Amino acid sequence: MILDRFRLDNRVAVITGGGGGLGTLAALTFAGAGADIVLLGRNEVNLEATANEVRALGRTALPITVDVTDGAALAAAAERIEAELGGIDILFNNAGITSTKTLRDIPPEEWQALLDVNVTGSYLAIRAVTPALIRRGGGRIINMGSILSARGMANRVAYSTTKAAVANMAAALAFELGPHGITVNTLAPTVIVTDLNREAVRTQPELYEAIVKRTPLGRLGEPDDLSGALLLLASDAGRYMTGQTLFVDGGYTAG
């Protein structure tokens, strides 16, 4: 049956930035489809909270405290995952930070921090898990992108730059990793309202009302709006998709 292609039974999904927000959403989505979950992040308490939600679904959850800018630590985490769970099948590069400063206001060190986490962190995570994916005979890599990889917005120069970079990273790696049975895609949502940005949405109504006005479906995104796309990119249902940017944006980029 076609729905069986969306199942992730006996697969291991690794999620960076797994301690909240969209990381938790992805963990519960993948676990609900049958996967065991590895959560990578810097906040041990938040990772354990998400892990407990996964365990409540009857799946294994392994939280590992790690900084995605530390390549050696990521490589060690990949080795531990293989040893404890038998392999890696899916990587969701979700860890990221943002900035709302203009070109003139953002200091070089903040610009560099966004590049380090959003771009280099994604590269290091992919580099760490790729040998395990190859040993499994293939797998799925999903980079977290944004509508801002394809559309401009004031005061988002650093963030937009990093999201365009991870989308093109996926496109390039599709050619390099495709022969190994590994797909590499980018999920590019509009604003998804979570606990991490709810206050910003409340305190900057004009900005977010403008986004809603430009969005054909007339609202901001909710976490569950991404579940289907995540499963598509992570499962056999999307096995012939690679190098693509999948916009889940209520139609924002259609205009």
Query: CA angle, corner 221, sides to 215 and 222, nearest 5?
Result: 160
Residue linked to tokens 């906040």: 43
The beta-strand segments (E) located in 78-235 are 90-93, 139-144, 182-189
72: exposed, middle or buried (Cβ count in 10 Å: 0-12, 13-18, 19+): exposed
C-alpha dihedral sign at 213, 186, 172, 66: positive
For residue 140 the two structure tokens come to: 């799925």
**What's the CA gap between 42 and 66, in Å, rounded?**
5
Smallest CA-to-CA distance from 69 within 46, 40, 44 is with 40
Q: Any idea which residues carry the catalytic annotation?
A: 159
